[in-house]
Amino acid sequence: MRREPARGLVQHLPVIFPGLMLIVFFIVPFGTMVAVSFFRRQQGGFYVPDFVLANYARFLTPFFGNVLLFSLYLAIAVAVVALVIAVPFTYLIARSPRRTQVIWLVALLSILSLSEVIIGFAWSTLLSRTAGITNLLVWLGLMQAPQALVPGFGAVLTGMVYQAMPYAVLVLYPSMVRLDPTLTEAARTLGASPLKAFFTVVLPALRTTLIATLIMAFIFALGSYLLPQILGRPSHWTLSVLITDQALYQSNMPFAAAMAVFLVLVSLALVSLTMFAGKKLEA
Amino acid sequence: MERFLSRLYLALVGIFLAAPIVVVTGVSFNEKQNLAFPPQGFSFHWFAQIFTDPEWLRALIASVLLAVTSAALAVIIALPLAWFLWRRVAPWAQVFQLLGVAPFTLPPVITALGFLTFWATSGFYGQLWTAVIAHAIFFVTLPLVTLTLGFSSIDRSLTEAAATMGADDRTVFRTVVLPLILPYVVSGYAFAFVLSLNEYIVAYMTIGFVRETLPIKVFNALRYGYTPTMAAVSVLFVAVTAAVFGLITRFGDLPKLMGAMSSKD
């Protein structure tokens, strides 16, 4: 049965429900948020329809500039570390027998579905003084006394890499598993070491996927919101934390919405930049 | 040597991935109300508390209810759309596909805030069904992706044969397409279900001040310090997730769903 153009109302019926749902419950809320970002705040947590740029202007203070810079810096760090761990890992999994692959995939999906709350809780336990890994180091004689590694930047980074890693692996997996093994075999036959084959054949062949994964992990980390709060100090809070804080606790919806719109713009700019870079690399 | 190194690497990453789960599991079986690790004593007390303490139980029920219904709604949105895109030439309908993928690609706080303003403006804030819709839209990407993959793997000559034998569109769908697509429906549902069960921020901004789901309950309880019940909840969640994906593997082809090409070794 070939694909045919839809004719008449009856043939269009299947699209009507999904289309309506997406328009009413995605486009409209998104539009509402954009509209609210121009509204004027009223004391008491409400806002009145208006067109003011004050919410955006407030964003241009050094405080929020620093938060934005820190968010970007943290997201880049998370994306890079996650990718450095995930690439060899995914490559090794993709090379293993199907059964082994399945076990790893189930494990990764289970971790992927862990809620941020749970990941934060687990790492704050792991890095705590009373129940953490430093106890293990003391027991091994590598350390004098158990130490608290949380809250701190290292803890935030660890938790977020932990969260982003499974995503990165699952994005890399299809390309890795479809990669023609004869490519590396040819390199090996010509005398390249496994590591050299990996760096000169595998990585260049996958550069578009690698960039896509990096960006995906970056945007993912940019959206992380609970881990900086659970594992970090207020100085480690990201834009997502501030947005939530403004929306829920400061009751300043217009300002929260303005920050959210800004975050969307940054995300979109990065996505299109990657697509552009990817096209250039392919050409 | 090479083999040893790659095994070592896999083991190290494995330890990194497993470490939080091991610690949390240990803590959840701890006898006393503290987070000692390695655990002191052994008790199911904290697991029992999830089901006996009315507050934890209410949160558990809200979470399960939300996950079951929102995943179903996500599939109901995704299935006709994916079918239509497979069956018809419709460039304009691809806009909807893009819309279906968008909520999941943006930082979740955006979708969450969108729903907060939307429900607050429309005056429905705090009802459980608003969270059902919010989660269905937020996670519609997952069934949409698995179903698109499923439809693309259907051999069109099968449906063509059925059509030649005189079956109309509906009969073809019921007798040929649906049986072939069913595993993808199930896995799309499972993905949405599991992620909804664990989702925090969209649920929090949609119903958080009125109702608690388990992740919201855990986060709210954090303010009063850690209790082993949180660890027990985490263990329960990991177990449910592993079971769900284990079942998908049992009845479907997980590597293929995750993007591997053939089902052969």
Interface contact A133, partner B, CB < 8 A: yes
Q: What is the pLDDT of residue B264?
A: 43
User: What residues does A5 pair with on adjacent strands?
Assistant: B89
pLDDT top residue among B71 and B4? B71
Mean pLDDT taken over chain B:
85
- Tally C-beta pairs within 8 A across A and B: 270
Dist CA B166 CA B155 (whole Å)? 18
Tell me: pLDDT of A42 over 80.
no
Residues in B 145-164 with any Cβ partner in A closer than 8 A? 156, 159-160, 162-163
Query: 3-state DSSP call for residue A47?
Result: strand
Dist CA A28 CA B99 (whole Å)? 12
DSSP state of B165: T
Q: Do A28 and B118 touch (CB under 8 A)?
A: yes
With both helix axes pointing from N to C terminus, report the angle between B54-87 and B45-52 in degrees, rounded to the nearest 10: 80
Mean pLDDT taken over chain A:
84
DSSP state of B227: -
User: Considering only CB atoms, which chain A residues are within 8 Å of B9?
Assistant: 88-89, 92
Block residue for tokens 């949390």: B24
Exposed/middle/buried for A82, CB within 10 Å: 0-12, 13-18, 19+? buried
What is the total residue count of chain B? 265
Tell me: pLDDT of A162 over 90.
yes
User: Considering only CB atoms, which chain B residues are within 8 Å of A117?
Assistant: 200, 215, 218-219, 222
Task: Write the residue in B83, B156, B162 that is nearest to A14 by C-beta.
Answer: B83
Structure tokens at A266: 């940054």
**For the segment B188-211, what is each residue's pLDDT rounded down to a tens digit?**
898 899 889 988 889 998 888 888
Report phi then psi at A248, rounded to 5: -100, -35
Tell me: pLDDT of A282 over 90.
no
Burial profile A33-45: b = 16 or more Cβ within 10 angstroms, e = fewer: bbebbbbebeeee
Residue A48's pLDDT band (cuts 50, 70, 90): confident
Cβ atoms of A125 and B27 closer than 8 Å: yes
Residue B263's pLDDT band (cuts 50, 70, 90): very low
Please compute, for residue B49, the number of CA atoms within 13 A of its CA located in the half-sphere on the CB side.
15
**For the segment B34-51, what is each residue's pLDDT rounded down to a tens digit?**
666 666 777 888 888 888
Instruction: Report the run of H or E that residue A4 belongs to, with start and end.
Output: strand A4-5
Number of H helices, E strands in chain B: 14, 1
**For the segment A117-127, what is each residue's pLDDT rounded down to a tens digit?**
888 888 888 88
Tell me: pLDDT of B74 over 90.
yes
Q: Do B10 and A93 touch (CB under 8 A)?
A: yes
Cβ atoms of B60 and B50 closer than 8 Å: yes
Task: Write the residue in A5, A18, A88 that is nearest to B9 by C-beta.
Answer: A88
Tell me: pLDDT of B22 over 80.
yes
User: Considering only CB atoms, which chain B residues are within 8 Å of A125?
Assistant: 20, 23-24, 27, 35, 37, 226, 231
